[in-house]
Every structure is written in C-alpha cells, then in structure tokens.
C-alpha cells in the first residue's frame, strides 16, 4: 500500500524540498557568515561543489562591501529581509539575485536561511521595458512638439487667406478696379499653394524610402533648375537674396517632379536661412554622376546638428523661422531612392553648401 504524504517524516520532506528546490538555498552562520549548507541549485548556480561552498562565507559570494553584507545579515537575523543584490560565481562572473533571508535556530545554532533566486531574465525584461517606455515617451514628446509646430505652420496661411478675403470683400464693396482685385486674388492663391505644399510634405513624410515610387524619364537638369528658380524668384527678392545660377545642360534618368521637389526645398532653405545674401546653384558632370550644389552665406548649421537635420521633424533653428522640419528628410528620401547622395558642408555664421550627387542613368 502507498504511504499517504502525511506519513512521511518531516525531516524527509524538508530534505527533498531543500535538495530539489529550483531556487538556491543557503544556510549561513548568523554571526560569521560561514556557509553551513547549500543545495544542488546552489552548486549549479555558483559552480562550486557543496564542499567548496561549505568552505566559504557569504562574503565570498557577494559583490557588496562587507559592512553592508553584515548589516543585511543583522537585519535578516532580527526581522527577516527581502532584497536584491549581485552574487558571484566561481569563475568571477556575476548575476543578479533576489534574496529572502531570515534567522532560525538550526541544530542549536543561530543561522540564516536564505532562499536566493536568479533574476537575470527579470532584470533583462525590466531593462527592455524601461527602454521601451523611454522610447515611447520620446515619441510622444516629439509628436506633441510636432503638433504645436504643424498647427502653427498650417494656421499661418489660413489666417492670411482669411485676412485677404476680408480685404477682397471690402474692395468689391467699394467697387475697386479689377487690377487691384487680381493682386489680392494672386496673394490668396499664393497662400493656398503654400498650404497645399505643407500638406503635401506631411503626406510625403509618411512615404519611406522603399515605398517611394519613382517615375523616371529623360530629364534635363538645367530646365528643372530654371523652373525652381522661376517659382522662388519672388521669395528671393523679398528676402533680398540674389540667385546666381550656373547649371549647364545635364541629362539623366530621374523623376522630374521629385528632383524639382529636392531642389525647391534646398533653394527655399538657402533663401530662408540665407540672411539676404546671394544663393548660388552650381551643377556639373562628375563621371557617371551629376552633382548639384546649393550654396548660401547664411546662418549655417553647427557640427553637432548636421547629421540630425536630415531626420524627420528635426530642426536646428529657433521657431521664428517657420517650417516643419520635413524638407531635408524628404529630400534625402528622394535622393536615396535615386541611388544618390546628399550631404552638407556648413560653418555657423558663414554659410552652408548642400551637395546632391545623382547617378545619371
Ligand atoms: P525646415 O526648414 O522646415 O525647418 P528642413 O528639413 O528643410 O526643415 O531643414 C531642417 C533644419 O535644417 C532647419 O530647421 C534648419 O535648422 C537646418 N537647415 C536647413 N537648410 C539650412 C540652410 N541652408 N542653412 C542653415 N540651416 C539649414
């Protein structure tokens, strides 16, 4: 007949629990820290045999300074204690543990009974969770900042449109001549285009490199530059910047609209950050590549910010300069989709030169 569990001797149960527990169990002399006994899990965890463990003290397994170990032993003996610390294996490597320790009288001797759990995985999980939390907090902060900038940027043209329309209706009431009405109409149109361009760049920013589908045709670069310059001439004049263009006839198989977008962003920035100084657009053929440089004599970018400004929503200027921080991000996506390169050389206070290199075929 099988014996009921209750019929086993207590000592036998205790010995089974001690021996086969998955956690490390250490019996430690409460006054000296000498290890009196250790279970199989301890042998495996510390890579010491039981006899080797019995020849050591708890101080040998700990990384902490002896006085803090003694203090924990005192607390464990008095009230029992649960704490996390670091233990050391025979080869000197360490692992994080959670220790539950309390004082008991064992064989007439004051001893500490410590159950030690290896928490390596828990710690890894906690670190991953903290990193994830930090990344989420950063993303949320970035989103909040972006919403502030985006709403400010989108609101400006809407406000201008509504002011111009109020002006227009007053002019109509007064029976103003057609030419004056046309000027207001063009101003409204310009603001609407600005609004559309902002919305387009927001949508473009969602496109990642792999998803950017190019519509390649035979493109002649100087005509693209001419289009861009025509569109930006008024803005350059307003800023007081002269546009100097030295672009010969260069053919390549590119997406015309996208290259136009890159150059519009770069020339637009050169005007915006150019402090009213001249902006030069110079292009040439460099072996199988076409290279285009847009140089200004403006505020420049500090070395610390140079890599960052090509990132999404990254800006390195005070908010008085309007912008979403998407132009360079989109420009880089487009240039890289063409297997090209974009980089910048800049000196704060002296100016910036953005260089785009595109394979011609
Ligand atoms: P935005 O101009 O809308 O801020 P961009 O992506 O076009 O966004 O540019 C990102 C940042 O790079 C700008 O905020 C500015 O700090 C910096 N930058 C870009 N072009 C220039 C330039 N020509 N001179 C100085 N700084 C520039």
Task: Give the angle subtended at the CA of 152 by the CAs of 147 and 157, to the nearest 5°.
Answer: 130
Output the residue whose Cα is nearest ligand 1's atom 14: 315
Q: What is the dihedral of CA 222, 228, 229, 232, to 10 degrees?
A: 180
Instruction: Give me the percent of the chain exceeding a pLDDT of 70.
Output: 96
Average pLDDT over all residues of the chain:
91
Amino acid 208: pLDDT: 56
Q: 292-331: buried (b, 16+ CB within 10 Å) or exposed (e) per residue?
A: bbbbbbbbbbeeeebeebbebeebbeeeeeebbbbbbbbb
Output the residue whose Cα is nearest ligand 1's atom 25: 300
Q: What is the dihedral of CA 173, 175, 179, 182, to 10 degrees?
A: 20
Task: Give the angle subtended at the CA of 241 by the CAs of 237 and 244, to the nearest 5°.
Answer: 105
Distance 267 CA to ligand 1 centre (A): 11
Q: How far is it, in rounded angstroms, from Cα 29 to Cα 43?
A: 18
Amino acid 7: pLDDT: 53
Distance 307 CA to ligand 1 centre (A): 12
Output the residue whose Cα is nearest ligand 1's atom 3: 323
Q: How far is it, in rounded angstroms, from Cα 305 to Cα 301?
A: 6
Residue 237's CB: how many other CB atoms inside 10 A?
A: 12
In terms of pLDDT, which residue wins out, 100 or 144? 100
Ligand 1 pocket: which of 315, 321, 355 to mutate (most atoms <8 Å of CB)? 315
Q: With cut-offs at 50, 70 and 90, classify the pLDDT of residue 292.
A: very high
Q: Which helix (H) or strand (E) holds 27?
A: strand 24-29
Q: With cut-offs at 50, 70 and 90, classify the pLDDT of residue 3.
A: very low
Give the position of tokens 């900042």: 145
Amino acid 57: pLDDT: 97
Distance 249 CA to ligand 1 centre (A): 28
Q: How far is it, in rounded angstroms, from Cα 90 to Cα 104?
A: 27
Amino acid 2: pLDDT: 46
Q: With cut-offs at 50, 70 and 90, classify the pLDDT of residue 180.
A: confident
Output the residue whose Cα is nearest ligand 1's atom 23: 270
Q: How far is it, in rounded angstroms, from Cα 145 to Cα 275?
A: 26
Q: What is the dihedral of CA 8, 11, 15, 21, to 10 degrees?
A: 70
Global pTM? 0.63
Amino acid 228: pLDDT: 93
Look at residue 120 and tell me whether its pLDDT is greater than 90.
yes
CB 64 within 8 A of CB 88: no
Q: What is the dihedral of CA 272, 275, 278, 282, to 10 degrees?
A: -50
Ligand 1 pocket: which of 146, 197, 273 to mutate (most atoms <8 Å of CB)? 273
Distance of CA 117 to the CA centre of its chain: 35
**Which of the residue ranges 27-36, 197-206, 243-252 would you say has the lowest mean pLDDT?**
197-206
Distance 274 CA to ligand 1 centre (A): 11
Amino acid 66: pLDDT: 94
Distance 272 CA to ligand 1 centre (A): 9
Which 3-state string (H, E, C) describes 275-317?
A: CCCCEEEEEEEECCEEEEEEECCCCCCCCCCCCHHHCCCCCCC
Mean pLDDT across 185-214: 80
Phi, psi of 356 (to 5 degrees): -115, 130
Ligand 1 site, CB within 6 A: 265, 269-270, 273, 296, 298-301, 309, 314-317, 323-329, 352
- Pinpoint the alpha helices (H) of 174-215: 178-206
Amino acid 145: pLDDT: 76
CB 358 within 8 A of CB 225: no
pLDDT tens digits, residue range 37-56? 999 999 999 999 999 999 99
Distance 289 CA to ligand 1 centre (A): 25
**Which of the residue ranges 221-225, 286-290, 312-316, 330-334 would you say has the lowest mean pLDDT?**
312-316
Distances (CA, A) of 69 to 30, 73, 123: 11, 6, 22
Look at residue 13 and tell me whether its pLDDT is greater than 90.
no
Output the residue whose Cα is nearest ligand 1's atom 8: 325
Distances (CA, A) of 278 to 236, 243, 259: 9, 6, 22
Mean pLDDT across 222-231: 94
Mean pLDDT across 255-275: 94
Which token pair is 237? 């004049």
DSSP-derived 3-state class of residue 7: helix
Instruction: Give me the percent of the chain exceeding a pLDDT of 90.
Output: 66
Output the residue whose Cα is nearest ligand 1's atom 21: 269
Q: With cut-offs at 50, 70 and 90, classify the pLDDT of residue 8.
A: low
Output the residue whose Cα is nearest ligand 1's atom 2: 323
Ligand 1 pocket: which of 149, 305, 309 to mutate (most atoms <8 Å of CB)? 309
């Amino acid at each position: 007949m099988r014996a009921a569990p209750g019929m086993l001797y207590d000592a036998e149960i205790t010995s089974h629990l001690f021996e086969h527990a998955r956690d490390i169990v250490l019996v430690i002399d409460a006054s000296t820290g000498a290890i009196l006994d250790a279970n199989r899990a301890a042998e495996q965890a510390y890579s010491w045999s039981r006899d080797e463990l019995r020849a050591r003290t708890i101080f040998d397994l700990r990384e902490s300074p002896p006085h803090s170990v003694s203090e924990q032993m005192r607390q464990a003996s008095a009230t029992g204690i649960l704490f996390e610390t670091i233990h050391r294996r025979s080869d000197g490597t360490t692992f994080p543990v959670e220790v539950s320790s309390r004082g008991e009288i064992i064989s007439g001797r004051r001893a500490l009974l410590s159950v030690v759990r290896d928490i390596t995985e828990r710690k890894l999980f906690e670190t991953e969770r903290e990193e994830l939390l930090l990344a989420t907090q950063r993303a949320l902060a970035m989103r909040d900042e972006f919403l502030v900038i985006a709403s400010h940027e989108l609101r400006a043209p809407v406000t201008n449109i509504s002011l111009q329309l109020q002006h227009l209706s007053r002019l109509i009431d007064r029976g103003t001549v057609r030419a004056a009405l046309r000027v207001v109409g063009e101003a409204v149109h310009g603001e609407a285009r600005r609004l559309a361009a902002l919305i387009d760049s927001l949508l473009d920013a969602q496109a990642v490199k792999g998803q950017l589908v190019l519509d390649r045709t035979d493109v002649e670069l100087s005509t693209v530059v001419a289009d861009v310059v025509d569109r930006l001439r008024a803005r350059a004049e307003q800023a007081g910047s002269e546009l100097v263009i030295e672009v010969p006839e260069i053919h390549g198989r590119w997406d015309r609209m996208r290259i136009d977008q890159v150059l519009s962003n770069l020339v637009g920035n050169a005007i915006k950050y150019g402090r009213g100084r001249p902006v030069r657009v110079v292009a040439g053929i460099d072996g199988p590549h076409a290279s285009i440089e847009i140089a200004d004599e403006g505020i420049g970018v500090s070395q610390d910010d140079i890599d960052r400004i090509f990132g999404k929503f990254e800006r390195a200027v005070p908010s008085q300069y309007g912008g979403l921080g998407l132009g360079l991000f989109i420009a880089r996506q487009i240039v890289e989709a063409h297997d090209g390169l974009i980089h910048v050389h800049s000196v704060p206070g002296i100016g910036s030169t953005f260089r785009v290199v595109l394979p011609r075929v």
